[in-house]
Structure 1
Amino acid sequence: MNESEQSNVTSAIAELLKDISSSVLQSVVETLNSLGVTSPEDFQYVQEADLLPVLRPIQARKLVSAWSQIKQSADSLSSSRESSSGTRSSSCSSSPSCGKASTVALDWADNFEIPWQKFPEALTQCLERKKRPSPRLRRDMVRIVVSEIMKVCDCPSKQSSTAIAKKMVAKYPASLQDVIEGDIVGSGYHSLVKQIQNRIENVKRLNVPKIRKRSRTEDSDTEEIPAERKAVVQDTYGCVNWDFKLMPLNETKESQLDKQERMKIKSKTTNADPEEVSNLLKATCFSQCKDINNGASIQQLCENWPFLFQEIGMCVHFKQLTGIDLKEMFLKSLDKKGQWLLNFLKTVGAEKKTKVQQTAAKLGVMRCQTEGCSEDLKDVVLLLLAYFDEKEEVMFHMWKTLALLKMWR
């Protein structure tokens, strides 16, 4: 199966199973490839048992059923056309919807017409004059394009978004291409694909739990408003466990308060056991989220949940919300991309900016003289600050040795 055929097969599956993850989708494509499927037309020969190793039974049945219906519809349509009269054929040819399949064409993205004529005049001027549009105009452009996309397909795949973004950048590269300091970044259209995908997700997100926003009236503008009514509208985007509906079975309101008090006491000591604190934070996550989602102020949260504003509390809370170990994920990403980024900053970055070159030379002298976290990590952070002209004192707390000695005494 070549790249084009694989893209068509992937899009067809994604259209039918809208909630399938990218990893499972890839496994399905690989399975079909091993079975000899080379195009969507071959779907009719796939059986439910062929898909069970990678899909749940219901998902497999959905695919097989949908492919069977498409084949039956195509056969019945072909038969009706053969038996139809000349008048009917003429009428059908003049109708834009006659004979249209119930599913979206697999190559719809390739034939998608970018609605250039619907763009605001200011945006059109920028594109034609090869100028970079402002963030506001760029967002308007994405909204218009996605609005037209959703009219054609209610669940576009990433491949479709990529094809459309690629066409847009190809027509106006000076205005839309991803460029930093004159260098094209990656494919040149990744950021536009990302914007289109994010907008599609926002449009599709219809039913999500929300905190009700206080209805504003003229008479109530001056009255004191409870904290929970001040909470802004939020949603579950990015979280796997945004709002804990129920308290853990082995917990009670009294036990939650008891653990909260224990953490308050431990936060005032310097030798608190990290593992014990971590367990207490996990056990009280229900109460923490309840306070946060009800609109408690930062000051109240800091007083009631002091560890929440320390490294251990942030990491535990982040994992409870997203299911991702923050430090582990960061270090994995650093292992994969850190050396590449470090080499880029020391070579390309140093050539473009004197400050980066000076920082790199300074770090080379100081290397192996520091203790603590990875030296590569320190170098990356400091070089990034130099590359983007950020001040170190804004990012770090500066402590004098004498001050530290006095504090510990």
Structure 2
Amino acid sequence: MHLFKVWDQTRTKKGLILIKEPGNVYVDLILKASQKLEINGATVVLESDGTPVEEEEILIAVKHETLILLEPGQVWLSSQSQCEISESSSGPNNHSFMSLTSTETIASTKSNECISGATEFLNNDSSSLDSTIQASNCNLEFSWTNFVIPWEKIPQDMLQCCAQGKRDKYAITEIVHIVVNEMKQISESIPSKAFKIVSFKMVDKYPATFRDYDDDGVVLGDGTASLKTKLQERYHYLKRPHKRPVSTSPETPLHLAKIKKNATAGCAQWAPPYQKAGAAAKNKLNTFLDDASDEFFHLLEETFAEQRAFINNVDPPSITNIKDQWPVLFKVEAIKWHFNKVTNGNISNLTTNLQLKAEKIVNFGLQHKIIISKDVRRDSAEIIALEVFARYFQENIYGAFYLKFQVYNVFVSD
């Protein structure tokens, strides 16, 4: 849970915004702050000096600072210049700053002086304003926070299903098609974060319809990740050429792309934005003795992006490499924390869930000839279920999973 102090550009509208996790803190802040301040927020900057805040991790790190939410086209102005502009807008006719700079005859000498002073300030500070404008332009994708889901274009029977919390695959597919078509009307080039923002809006409107369940009705997630994938897949499908080119050279070989897709399944935080924590934090964490203290978990959080970048390398590190570079990852508490962080789940529920699903997983393995009947009689259903997973994803359960936990004397209960 995070509390932010947010003002508008004029510093006249102010509010405290409470954001709860899990979710995208950056997107949620822009949406809720826009609603509270009654503006169309697009970018966030520091009130003190106008430094753009463009990433979720940075936003959380500066949450104790006062933030300004800028609308599209707005730039940060210091409180001094804002005061000068406010003074220039006062007078018997209550003209605004823009109206004072128009071709109208201005009678007030004082107002002219205020405008001149504000203009001089803007000229003197042009370099900082240019950098702020440039940063804002780089972050224009967040203007998608103003995108309105075209619910009025969706057939009434489908909207009724959504209102009743029903999950109809045909209806969801049709809604995805309509939404993507509407997004393409705004721009043919849609950034990835736009789909994330739109998926949050759709789930917020009809959470029960877009929530992810398994076959037994167990909730797997709020649905934003899977809905974002559906939106992106539809968008990329519409961008495909009608004919396959004579020769193609994909950036990632097909077999590697499949391996990555399997490895990232269910991992909400597989590859967070890279941020180097520094050698001091890494060394302290790897030599930390008290693995149950708040500082230990703080160091894990601080170095998490660097851990994932190391593990996700194009040439994956061996167990020996991991032990040399990140020995802390073989501590029980670190393993549990890392699993929970990557999956947004809870490893404590793993044993129970595996016991509940083991029989179904084993039957799946038999039907698809991943295992044979004599394998089932050899061991417990839970162990056989793990073997089904390993063979399906072409992993060696005893050469990888077992080795990691036994060779380095790491044991996890259950």
User: TM-score band, normalised by the shorter chain?
Assistant: 0.3 to 0.5
In the superposition, the TM-score normalised over structure 2's length comes to 0.35
Instruction: Report the structure number with the largest CA radius of gyration.
Output: 1
The structure in which a higher percent of residues are strand is 2
